[in-house]
Every structure is written in structure tokens, then in C-alpha cells.
């Protein structure tokens, strides 16, 4: 196989392609061009180093000449000569290359760490921006956003207005939300004909209950447990915070300049995709914790939410295929274990103010009411 390198001669700007061959203690070079000039590079007097893009070239320099050849091809025959200064130079250069490679990994690692820390710091800062934006947002905007989102979901055609179902649900919600009546929220129950075993909350107080939840819940305690959870999504403003979290980088300038009108525009423009968001694990955990605290405050059973999740887990394959809206209650073992730890004893548990049998009976008979619902 022909061995080729590049020869640079002082005073000649372009490299000369040469065939090379080790002869004795010299490198014989022959130009590949038509002229066929030859040179002899005395290795005893040559200075050796490594060069090229990946240090894959051996560089031999003598007075007036510099020759580059591939390291894999030339190194072995050079070592075979037994020239001490060549052997030492190859070892020294190999150590330098290894050191440079190690240092490149060190610098790359430091750069990656710096970028990671910068990203974490940026995320922490924008988390503070989310908190600041929520603080700048009046509750009336939550209500406006929730009603806009409800209309965009197109539930009007499927809303169930049977007073035998809607009134007891609204009465239950009114009592459940009594501790928050001074916060300016507008809690409204919407019952929709949908097989989902679910309920979900929109900002400001719109709570959607699917008939599938009423059909599959085994008692008023399960229903009220789910509703207490959803009430907390509203009270803790998780919907607005979820939107702001998605828009965290756009929020920075808005919060810094204090432009609340721009904030309002950003919030309302997000109403159409709010239902496509999922509450974060932290939001779900907070809604569980605060929901159970609310039930304890009212002295109602706290067991319903846990029982609901336990049954949902057993019937997961059939039920969860329907869970497609906001707050879909992932019934993980971790979450159920957390709920068990959150349960607190209630000294004098009161009965839940709902006639469960009458509600299920009305549900079984179907709705006769076709009056328009509240919007």
C-alpha cells in the first residue's frame, strides 16, 4: 500500500504530496507529481511532534522542511529504528495528547455543570415569576377564564339539567365551599352526560361532574372526596398557575414591568388549551392534602377519596381509557400511600348532607328537564 504524506518547504506556499519510505535512519521522500523530485529527511536531526485535527499526524521538522504523515502508518516503523530521541518524543507527545483528552472531558463536564446550574437557576427564577404573576391576577380573572374555557369545551349539548340531580349536587358544593365564600370565587356545578369516571375543575369555580362518576361511585363519601379535591384545585388556583407555568419565559418581562393588562391578555388567550393541560404532581398532592383537611374541618368522612382511588386502581384498564380531561386522578400506589398518611381522625364525624339513594334513583330514571343551564 502506498504511503503518502505532505511536505512543506520553506519559501514554497503549497504542500507537496510525497511517497515516503524509511531507509536506514532517514525518511526517503519522492514527489508524486510528474517531476518526481526526491528529498532525504535525516531522522537523527529531526524534531518530532504530533499534529493534525485529532493529533493523528506525525510531524517531522528539519531545517527548511516539515513533513506530515499519518500516525498509524509511520509510528511503528519509527519506533523500530530504536532512535532514543524519536522514542522519547513519541512517548512525550502521546502523554500530552492523553492529558489534553482528559482535560477536554473535564472542561466539557464543567461546561455541562455550568449549563445545568444555569438552567436550574433560571427555572427557580421563573417559578418565582409564576408566583408573582398569580399574585398580580385578581380572582375575577380566574372566573372569566373558567367560564371561557367551559364554553370552549362545548359541553352545552351534553349538560344534564335534571333538577333531581343538579340541585343536590349544587347544594353539596355550596356547603363544601362555605369556608371559601369570602374569596370571591363562583362555584358552579355542571353535570354532563359522559361515561368518564371523573370530575374536574376549571379556574374560578366551574366544577364539571361526569355522570360516569355518579354511576360508579359507591357512596356519598366517594363523591364528596372527589369534589373536595376539585374544590382545592380552584382555591389553590392551580389552573391559572398551570397556564403561567407553561408561559413562564414569556411572563418574565410582563412581571418585571408590572404590565397587568398584558398578563390578562396572555391568560385569556390560553383558555382554549387549558383543558389539554394536566395538573402537576405537586398540584395533585396539594389538592389531596387540602381536600382531606377541608373534609376534616367539616367533620365529614375522609375515607371516600382513598376508596375511590383504590377501586379505580382495580378497574384501571376499563376506567382510565375515559380519563381525558384536566385532573384525571392518576391512582398510583405512591399517591394512595400518601393519602393514607394524610388521613386524620375526626372526633365526631357528621353525616354527609346528600341523599345518595335518591340521587342514584334519579340518575337511573334519566333526565326529564330540558331547560337551559347556567352559563
Domain range 4-97, its CATH number among 3.30.1050.10, 3.30.470.20, 2.30.29.30, 2.130.10.10 = 2.30.29.30
The grid coordinates listed for 198 are 371523573
- The pLDDT tens digits for 68-79 are 999 999 999 999
> pTM score, two decimals?
0.62
Percentage of the chain beyond pLDDT 70 is 80
Catalytic residue among 75, 222, 230, 286: 230
Give the pLDDT mean for 201-214: 93
The grid coordinates listed for 74 are 509511520
- Give counts: helices (H), strands (E), the chain: 15, 10
Contact (CB, 8 A) for 197 and 237? no
CA neighbours within 13 Å on the CB side: how many for 196? 19
Contact (CB, 8 A) for 173 and 189? yes
Contact (CB, 8 A) for 267 and 137? yes
Catalytic: 284? no
The pLDDT of residue 208: 94
3 state SS of 67: strand
Give the pLDDT mean for 36-53: 92
- Portions of the chain given CATH number 2.30.29.30: 4-97
From 57, 63, 68, select the one nearest 17 (Cα to Cα).
68
- The pLDDT tens digits for 70-118 are 999 999 999 999 999 999 999 999 999 999 889 989 988 888 888 777 6
Contact (CB, 8 A) for 224 and 172? yes
From 117, 264, 274, 263, select the one nearest 203 (Cα to Cα).
274
Cα distances from 204 to residues 150, 160, 254, 327, in angstroms, run: 11, 21, 22, 15
Amino acid at each position: 500500500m502506498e504511503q503518502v504524506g505532505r511536505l512543506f518547504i520553506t519559501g514554497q506556499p503549497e504542500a507537496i504530496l510525497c511517497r515516503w519510505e524509511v531507509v536506514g535512519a532517514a525518511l526517503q521522500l519522492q514527489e508524486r507529481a510528474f517531476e518526481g523530485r526526491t528529498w532525504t529527511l535525516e531522522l537523527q536531526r529531526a524534531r518530532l511532534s504530533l499534529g493534525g485535527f485529532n493529533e493523528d499526524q506525525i510531524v517531522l521538522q528539519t531545517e527548511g522542511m516539515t513533513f506530515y504523515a499519518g500516525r498509524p502508518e509511520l509510528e511503528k516503523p519509527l519506533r523500530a529504528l530504536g532512535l532514543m530521541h524519536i522514542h522519547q518524543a513519541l512517548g512525550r507527545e502521546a502523554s500530552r495528547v492523553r492529558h489534553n483528552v482528559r482535560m477536554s472531558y473535564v472542561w466539557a463536564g464543567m461546561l455541562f455543570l455550568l449549563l445545568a446550574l444555569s438552567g436550574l437557576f433560571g427555572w427557580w427564577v421563573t417559578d418565582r415569576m409564576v408566583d408573582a404573576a398569580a399574585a398580580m391576577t385578581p380572582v375575577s380573572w380566574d372566573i372569566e377564564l373558567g367560564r371561557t374555557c367551559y364554553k370552549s369545551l362545548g359541553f352545552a349539548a351534553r349538560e344534564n339539567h335534571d333538577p333531581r340531580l343538579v340541585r343536590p349536587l349544587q347544594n353539596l358544593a355550596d356547603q363544601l365551599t362555605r369556608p371559601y365564600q369570602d374569596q370571591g370565587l363562583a362555584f358552579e356545578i355542571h353535570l354532563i352526560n359522559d361515561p368518564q369516571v371523573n370530575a374536574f375543575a376549571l379556574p374560578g369555580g366551574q366544577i364539571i361532574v361526569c355522570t360516569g362518576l355518579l354511576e360508579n361511585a359507591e357512596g356519598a363519601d366517594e363523591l364528596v372526596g372527589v369534589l373536595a379535591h376539585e374544590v382545592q384545585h380552584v382555591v389553590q388556583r392551580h389552573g391559572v398557575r398551570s397556564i403561567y407555568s407553561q408561559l413562564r419565559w414569556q411572563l418574565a418581562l410582563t412581571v418585571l414591568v408590572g404590565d397587568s393588562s398584558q398578563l390578562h391578555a396572555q391568560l385569556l388567550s390560553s383558555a382554549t388549551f387549558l383543558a389539554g393541560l394536566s395538573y402537576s404532581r405537586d398540584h395533585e398532592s396539594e389538592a389531596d392534602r387540602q381536600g382531606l383537611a377541608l373534609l376534616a374541618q367539616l367533620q365529614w368522612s375522609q375515607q371516600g377519596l382513598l376508596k375511590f382511588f383504590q377501586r379505580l386502581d382495580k378497574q384501571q384498564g376499563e376506567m382510565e381509557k375515559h380519563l381525558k380531561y384536566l385532573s384525571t386522578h392518576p391512582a398510583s400506589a405512591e399517591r394512595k400511600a400518601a393519602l393514607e398518611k394524610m388521613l386524620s381522625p375526626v372526633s365526631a364525624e357528621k353525616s354527609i348532607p346528600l341523599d345518595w339513594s335518591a340521587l342514584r334513583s334519579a340518575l337511573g330514571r334519566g333526565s326529564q328537564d330540558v331547560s337551559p343551564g347556567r352559563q
